Structure 1
Amino acid sequence: MKLLRFLLFPFAVLYDAITRTRNWFFNLGVLKSTKFNIPIVAVGNLSVGGTGKSPQIEYLIRLLKADYKIAVLSRGYKRKTKGFQLLDDSHTVEDVGDEPLQFYKKFKNEVSIAVDTDRTNGVQQLLKGENPPEVILLDDAYQHRKVTASSYILLTKYKDLFINDFLLPTGNLRESRRGAKRAKAIVVTKCPENLSKIEQCELERRINPLPNQEVFFSTIVYDEQLGGTENLSLQDLTNMEIVLVTGIANPSSLLSFLTERKIKFQHINFPDHHHFSDSDLKNIQQQFEQIESSEKYIITTEKDFVRLEGKLKNLAYIGIKNKFLGDEKAFDRLVLNEIKNFS
């Protein structure tokens, strides 16, 4: 695989030229980028793969929802519908995608959730609605430059920093490392919880932020109480055998966490945003039934749960949250000041 990526290096150079030209045209105004009269916070990354965008969006929702009317706009990856959709109770994962439906189920009475591949149209539709938002969060929109966000939050994974990466297809970057200059905040995600201040300072030195940028560090915290069931905890799983089903970009953090907790599991892995077929469901259920122990469960992620709910027996999910390492108030202050001082 490494050899193949090396051989594809000329295509990475071509990809760099294309993305650089595109960004240059947006900067010059040759390509149109629409600026709106409300704060818009874009959250995303430079690389493909899971950097923790969903937990970060949920963190921002919790931070802002008490003081502002919030809307989240996603593209609705792998949905089967077209155009703008404002989520309501009738929508399914096939209509809007897994992550938007996850947001809706968790925050439906507090926040508006919408999907639209055309982000400009999506923002316009939200602002024309009966209850227009005061702040819009753009999910996975760092490269969607047809909307000019008022601030950008760039996520980069601790074990796969953008500064060490290269452009597709040789590396995993969607655009050049120069794209990091648009960010107001750079968040190093999925850090070890015991990451020292010395290590944080060294990573910040290597990232080399601009004077107007701030670097933060966050980790993933797993909920002790499982979702999708009334009375099952992580501690209960230590006495069970479980089938773990994942359809996320990178399940390694979850696998390590379960192993550290001494939880026995059989892992069935699917691609990110996977649509589970009847055959998939049958194979999962069969593997579950082959476990001889009477103490057993099928465990999945919250994102996969919205796809699997009602389709498998004995199903629960492990929820996650984003936790900043020592500088949470500084991050909150940056975001709130950006919104408060928007003009």
Structure 2
Amino acid sequence: MNLIRNIAFPFMPLYYVATAARNKLYDLGIKKSVSYDFPIICVGNLSVGGTGKTPMVEYLITLLKDNYRVATLSRGYKRKTTGFQLADETATAETLGDEPFQFYEKFKNEIIVAVDSDRNNGIKKLRSLKHKPDIVLLDDAFQHRKVRAGYNILLTTYNNPYYKDYVLPTGNLREPRTGAKRADIIVVTKCPENISDLEKENVIKKLKIDNHQQVFFSSIQYADKIVSAKNKIKLNSLGHFTLVTGIANSSPLVDFLLKNQLKFEHLNFKDHHNFSVSDIKDLETKGLIVTTEKDFMRLKQYASLRDNLYYLPIEVALSDKAKFNTLINKFVES
């Protein structure tokens, strides 16, 4: 992969100019963005995947759902449907995409979940519902500038922050680093739990934030139990198992399991992997299977796996959680 990216280096300036020009057209109002008179919060990143958008959206859902009618709107990456889709009891990972389906499965009686690659159309459809949402959370829409979200939350990882990265195809950035200026909040995700105040200050300096921007740090907290459709098992009671991951970066999960001295075989697939017939047949020969919650949403449809299929829940642990919550609530109330 590094060799391919090095070979592609001459094309990086072309991508940079194209994406920078597109952003400038929106900044100047030549390309139009649509604003709305109700709260829209966008969660996104500059890089290609793996920054923790799904846990952050779930954090916002949990924060807001008791006081407001909340809707999530995603593109529905790798789904087998087109256009606007509203989640209901017939929904699957194939009709919604794995991440929106995860939102639906976890919060189905409390929020509205929809997908549409045209976010403006999706917002209009949601607001035309009989019980329309008070708030729309846009999942992975930071580059979707046809919508002007009222509040933008930008995520970047501790190990690969955007200020160390480059635009595609040599780096992982979807647009130049200057795009971060559109964010209201920047969250440095997947931090070590013992990150010091001095290290936080150093990171903030390198982010070169504007006066209107706030920076927070978050880490991943793993549960002490794995979960199936029927029961839970304590991690410290596990024997050998097979770990199955189809996410952008499985290293934090692997490191956590190794730190807990667990014994496992790791089958590492690419992000949003569509499991083939041969993949499923291979998994049927395994014993206990532990996976991520996102992968669980795609794998649980296979009856032959269900009895041995578990996932490890995670949640976001935010620095200065009270301040973050206050900023979000103030925006929504305003």
| Fold shared per TM-score above 0.5 | yes
Q: Which moved more, 1:313-322 or 1:226-235?
A: 226-235
Q: State the partner residue of 1:162.
A: 162
Is residue 227 of structure 2 the alignment partner of residue 231 of structure 1?
no
AA partner of residue 312 (structure 2): I
Deviation at residue 310 of structure 1 after TM alignment:
4.2
- Counterparts in 2 of 1:273-284, with a 5 A limit? 273-284=272-283
TM-score normalised per structure 1: 0.94
- Counterparts in 2 of 1:169-180, with a 5 A limit? 169-180=169-180
Unaligned runs of 5+ in 1: 290-296
CA distance in structure 2 between the partners assigned to 1:315 and 1:5 by the alignment? 37
CA distance in structure 1 between the partners assigned to 2:235 and 2:131 by the alignment? 39
Is residue 50 of structure 2 the alignment partner of residue 61 of structure 1?
no
Q: Of the candidates 293, 306, 322, which is equivalent to residue 316 of structure 2? A: 322
Q: State the partner residue of 1:36.
A: 36
CA distance in structure 1 between the partners assigned to 2:147 and 2:6 by the alignment? 34
Other structure's SS at 1:152 match: strand
CA distance in structure 2 between the partners assigned to 1:3 and 1:268 by the alignment? 24
Show CA shifts across 1:266-299 (max 9, x none): 001111111111110111222x15xxxxxxx110
Distance 1:284 1:85, change over 3 A: same
Q: State the partner residue of 2:203.
A: 203
- Counterparts in 2 of 1:235-254, with a 5 A limit? 235-237=236-238, 240-254=239-253
Distance 1:170 1:210, change over 3 A: same
Is residue 152 of structure 2 the alignment partner of residue 152 of structure 1?
yes
Q: State the partner residue of 2:14.
A: 14
Q: Of the candidates 315, 324, 336, which is equivalent to residue 329 of structure 2? A: 336
Q: State the partner residue of 1:304.
A: 295
Deviation at residue 231 of structure 1 after TM alignment:
3.2
Show CA shifts across 1:215-265 (max 9, x none): 10000001223221413122222xx11001111111001000000001100
CA distance in structure 2 between the partners assigned to 1:140 and 1:42 by the alignment? 7
Distance 1:110 1:253, change over 3 A: same
CA distance in structure 2 between the partners assigned to 1:264 and 1:47 by the alignment? 32
AA partner of residue 265 (structure 1): F
Deviation at residue 173 of structure 1 after TM alignment:
0.3
Q: What is the count of residue pairs matched by the alignment? A: 330
Deviation at residue 3 of structure 1 after TM alignment:
4.2
Q: Which moved more, 1:10-19 or 1:156-165?
A: 10-19
Show CA shifts across 1:151-171 (max 9, x none): 100000000000000010111
Q: State the partner residue of 1:109.
A: 109
CA distance in structure 1 between the partners assigned to 2:159 and 2:232 by the alignment? 34
CA distance in structure 2 between the partners assigned to 1:3 and 1:85 by the alignment? 40
- Counterparts in 2 of 1:183-198, with a 5 A limit? 183-198=183-198
Distance 1:314 1:38, change over 3 A: same
Is residue 75 of structure 2 the alignment partner of residue 83 of structure 1?
no
AA partner of residue 303 (structure 1): K
Other structure's SS at 2:225 match: coil
Unaligned runs of 5+ in 2: none
AA partner of residue 332 (structure 2): I
Q: State the partner residue of 1:257.
A: 256
CA distance in structure 2 between the partners assigned to 1:5 and 1:232 by the alignment? 42
* Aligned-CA RMSD value: 1.1
AA partner of residue 328 (structure 2): V
AA partner of residue 266 (structure 2): H
Deviation at residue 130 of structure 1 after TM alignment:
1.2
TM-score normalised per structure 2: 0.97
CA distance in structure 1 between the partners assigned to 2:278 and 2:84 by the alignment? 31
CA distance in structure 2 between the partners assigned to 1:17 and 1:310 by the alignment? 44
CA distance in structure 2 between the partners assigned to 1:16 and 1:27 by the alignment? 16
